[in-house]
Chain A
Amino acid sequence: MILKYIFKNFSRRKVRTVLMILSLLVSTGLIVTMSATVETVRRSNVDLIASAVGRYDLSITKRDTSSDPFISVSEVAQEVLASDERITAVYPRFEAVVELTAKGHSGRGILLALDPERDDIGFIDVVSGTYKLGNGQVALLENASFTYDLDLGDTIDVSYSFPLPREKGQPNAAGASERRSTRSFSIAAIVRQDGVTGINTGDGLIVHMEDVQEWLDLPGRSGTLIATVDPAVYETNNAEAAALRIRDVVTAVKVRLGDEYEYRLDKASALNEAAQAFLVLQALINTYGLMALGVVGLLVHTLVMTNVQEQRRDMAILRILGSQRNYLFALVIAEVITIGLIGVSLGAGAGQLITHYIVVPLIERQMAMEGIVSPLTPRVSISSLLPVVIAAFAVLILSSLKPAREAANTKVMHAINPGVADNIQIEDLARLRERRPDFKLFLGGLVLMFIFALIAGFQIVETFGGPALEVTFILLALGLMVLGLGLIFYIATVPFEKLVLFLIGLVVPRLTYFAKRNVGRGQTRNTLISLLVLFSAVLPSFLATTLALEQANLEANARHNMGAPADIRVFGFWATPEEAEQYYLKPDFRTRQLASIQGVDQSVGLTYGYSTDVSDPVGFRTASVMAYGVDGYLNEVLFTDLIEFAAGGPEALDSIQGDLDAIIISKGLADHLAVSLGDKLLVSGEGTDHIAEYQIIAVARTIPGIRGIGRSRVTAQSNSDVLMSFDSFRSLITPLNQPLPPQDKPILSRIMMSLLPGAVARDVADEIGKRFSQDYSLNTRFMEVILENNERGQASQRIFLLALTTIAFTTAVFGVFAVIYVTIYSRRIEIGMMKAMGMKRRQLTGMLNIESITMTLGAALAGITAGAMMGYIAFYGERALSQRPTIFAVDTTVIPFIVIMIVLASMISATFSARRIVSKRAVEILRME
């Protein structure tokens, strides 16, 4: 009976039913699409990671301090298998850096030994030949075939040096390996590998394990054991939980095998890191999704309420016939659930289809254009569908509760005397309709923003930890920010409406005359729809403004951070100055080795930072500083347009090179110590009683690339940099009465450089990598490359933002439509009268369009202002704190998109909603009462 009644209602109110189903279809479809896309990309990322780090879960090697670097395979493998039942297989491997020689060329490469009959980890893609190892036959990695110009049947000599154990507590093994063995192998196949090993296999070859064991005389032994874990361990949505399970497995192995071995679980670590990166993305989608569903909820609420009021007489008759209130309540809820079932099912299906046939191929194409060839497998898991479905039904039920209660409260009088039946109006929203924004809303907004500030400012998110909680907090913070800003800026909708009306009035003054009065004074103003449009605009505008500012400041940031077109920094881990010396560079690295690289123009070396104290000459005020020695002429490499001096000038950057008594300090430090140009400063040097006196030759506000040079006096008290000559620095780090260190002592930790005109950054980077990567631990950065990468990243972010904005506003369109539809319906008599008076159809449509545009665009503009303002405050605030100038920028993608979408939505909604009424004759409309 209920279903029969529901389906009859559907056919009676086709437009409304279709509208509700369509809005659900679109909103759930888009959210499912976004979630599924993120899930697909996340999993593909995991796959890419597995491909890079090896498709196994654990690798075990002997520690480099172990006297025997090799593992007894059968014995240890048994132990590993027995340590945890989740370990499914253990394979012996031999992975080592070897010297390769062929056709007169020699170089380093990777020797990978495995047993192809048992070890099926990863994929081998045979380029040519037959992948059959053993008896001196090897598979050469494709890259090596290019490097050494080798083909099938050619031979390659492989030299292996047996490792020497490192003495515990010593950084390196003493002396060089004396045991070295060489063997020739014949090339049976040229292959590519994917996930077979985690070692970077540029040049290398794959050899049968038995061949290596025989060659190196290591029967039954291997260098590495790799193990796989039951894939069921990964079958959870919580990547962190999966990674922790793998850690449990490895812990069990360690308990069994002890500390003599090293354990690596790269795949689980990478999976965990990748999952963290997707958490924020998912939080954003959830926020947008909730906003979208909120609008759908409003639409359903409004339309169902209209249905209930129209059906009141029918319901009163049912009451006369003996229906219980519960029955009428259930009737409405069942109607909404039926609509929900249809709409959400269709939406979930559409989301899958869109993901499968549109989004994933598009991403693959985009990735291919960026040189990443990785087939994506579309993933629409139950776990990504379920939250959307549950949220959609929760919103539907919440939005139908009031109409259902209204239905349940139907009085029999509605049937006996139809005259008392309610007119169809959006009276259910009456409490939220008002002429002017409520001050209470403004206060509510302030309170929400205060809570947001507490969460964001005090970093509660990080306090608790845990990805799930973190996402919840991020979501909560974003939600609070959107709601808070929306409520605060709701007050701005009225001036914006006036502005919109003024502008439209310049074009169509007569229609605006009518619209102005209806919008400005109308009781049909709907606070809820205004707020929802406003809310929908806040977050995209905030993110878009931040993105626009970031993009505008991208180059300035990179120039400020790097200071020069390129720089090289040493990296590594050291505990003592002696250890550090292994990593630092000698001055002649810059003057000889680096200078020989093609494309490098000028360079300047900076020493490592020496942490010390400075004071004015009488020790009245002191500060902690980091002292750097400068080796070279900074003006030749620095971005000079970014240098700002408070006293002195750029010439100081060059003259400091040869002046042993000179020092350049920051404006903040000068203010803190109350010293100025020409004054003396005392700097504590290494050792007892070592106080050096320097004269200030410049006070700088900004020197690009030198972070500790700034204006902040507070920061300068404990975190300021000072620059001095290279020789002054050598003197400063040497205790009194001790000879200065030799000139070639490695103390440079950074080299800033400029490139010759026409030099290609990537080529220079490649050349530096080739020449120095074996002997040094260097991190080379080129501004050109950084900018390229950042710009690519920003383009992707903008596309993602547009997609999210589309979700928010596509559903907002339905919300606008619902409200406009009901508003126009409730104003039909007025419309009829205006028509009788002589207003033409197109004028009426125009007037309703103007009203609709004004109402929604006013709210959207308020939301845009709120979001953009928040974006500017956040960005400028952060820049001010980091003492960096900011280039102003306005978003020209997302915000115009919002305006266009909302104007189109309003026009379509008004035109479509008014279509039936304005096409009727005046008398027909008037008779409708």
Chain B
Amino acid sequence: MPDNSMPIIIVEDVHKSYLMGKEAVPALRGVSLEIRPGEFVCLMGPSGSGKTTLLNIIGGLDEAGRGHVIVDNENLVAMSEDKLATLRLRKMGFIFQSYNLLANFTAQENVESPMVLAKIGRKERRERARKLLEKVGLGDRTHHYPSELSGGQQQRVAIARALANNPAILIADEMTGDLDSETGFAIMELATQLNQDGMTIIYVTHDPRMAEFGKRLILLRDGKIVDE
């Protein structure tokens, strides 16, 4: 259901180019969009359309060449790297295609790690990590290392980790890309459940079946939004 509240993310005329050798290759050419709290947005498009670039710029992982990106009333363009890191820590959660779990940390410790950075006390973070792992269905895998978990389980740990500091926004880049269909669907169902709990989710996918889970679909091509 569309929300009439203030947008949590505002992207205004964002341009971004990458240098390939001596030549600048445009990735985004004046993208503008607004995302309100609680939306479940899917970004789709062919390879090189700029969807991951847009996702990274919204997440403060990359910076826009031109334009404005406002997340929860804070303009990312004017922010220092340290402030961006703090913003990501407090307000965003990230999920990547290849899970990117810390290999030497158990599932519980992986989930705890953002909370350590956020200076949350040991007792509280352990309790919260345990609950999050239970929430993603891994309550019995808390002390397993990533190498002892399947791909789907690893991605669930990554989701639990992304939720560790109660972020307002969950950003996911091809989060089902490395998973088989069945596991992929299960992960998307988990995301849907999180969205139903009120979390804003923006995700990128190639897979039309996964795109169907989103409540708002944005199509990009050649660095521009072509359809919504």
Contacts and interface: CB of A to CB of B under 8 A. Distances in A.
Contacts of A839: 85, 117
A923 interface: yes
B81 A841 contact: yes
A838 B85 contact: yes
Interface in B128-165: 161
A521 B110 CA distance: 14
Given A510-B116, A923-B62, A838 B86 contact: yes
Nearest to A516: B104
B82 A841 contact: yes
Interface string B71-104: 0000000000110011011100010101011111
B39 interface: no
A923 B56 contact: yes
B113 interface: yes
A561 interface: no
Nearest to B57: A923
A921 B76 CA distance: 14
Interface in A486-534: 510, 513-514, 517-518, 520-523
B104 A838 contact: no
A833 interface: yes
B84 to A, nearest CB: 9
A694 to B, nearest CB: 78
A240 B117 CA distance: 68
A921 B64 CA distance: 13
Interface string B37-63: 000000000000000000010010111
A833 B88 CA distance: 12
Interface centre among A518, A829, A832, A838 (most CB of B within 10 A): A838
Which 5 A-B pairs give the minimum distances between C-beta atoms? A838-B89, A833-B100, A923-B61, A521-B104, A838-B88
A838 B114 contact: yes
B145 to A, nearest CB: 8
Given A510-B119, A522-B104, A838-B85, 17 more contacts: A510-B117, A513-B113, A513-B116, A517-B102, A517-B105, A521-B104, A829-B98, A830-B102, A832-B100, A836-B88, A837-B113, A838-B89, A838-B117, A838-B118, A840-B86, A923-B62, A926-B61
A259 interface: no
Contact of B82 (A520, A834, A840, A929): A840
Interface of A: 510, 513-514, 517-518, 520-523, 829-830, 832-841, 843, 921-924, 926, 929
A833 B96 contact: yes
Contacts of B98: 829, 929
A521 B144 CA distance: 13
A843 B100 contact: no
Contact of B102 (A833, A841, A921): A833
A843 B85 CA distance: 11
Given A522-B104, A926-B100, A836 B94 contact: yes
Contacts of B105: 517
B117 A837 contact: yes
Nearest to B114: A837
Contacts of A833: 96, 100-102
Given A510-B116, A517-B109, A518-B104, A835 B96 contact: no
B104 A837 contact: no
A829 B114 contact: no
Label chain A's interface by main secondary structure: helix
A835 B119 contact: no
B103 A830 contact: yes
Interface centre among B56, B89, B98, B117 (most CB of A within 10 A): B117
26 contacts: A510-B116, A510-B119, A513-B113, A513-B116, A520-B104, A521-B104, A830-B102, A830-B103, A832-B100, A833-B101, A833-B102, A834-B113, A836-B88, A836-B100, A837-B88, A837-B94, A837-B117, A837-B161, A838-B85, A838-B88, A838-B89, A840-B82, A841-B82, A843-B117, A923-B61, A923-B62
A511 B221 CA distance: 42
Given A514-B116, A837-B113, A837-B117, A926 B82 contact: no
A517 B104 contact: yes
Contacts of A926: 61, 96, 100
Contacts of A514: 102, 113, 116
Nearest to B164: A837
A922 B59 CA distance: 11
A444 to B, nearest CB: 28
Nearest to B59: A836
A830 to B, nearest CB: 6
Contact of A921 (B62, B89, B118): B62
A518 B102 CA distance: 9
Contacts of B88: 836-838
A586 to B, nearest CB: 84
A523 B82 CA distance: 30
A924 B63 CA distance: 11
A513 B63 CA distance: 30
A183 B109 CA distance: 103
Contacts of B116: 510, 513-514
Interface centre among B81, B102, B104 (most CB of A within 10 A): B104
Nearest to B158: A833
Contacts of A841: 81-82, 85
A829 B81 CA distance: 19
A712 B204 CA distance: 86
A923 B85 CA distance: 12
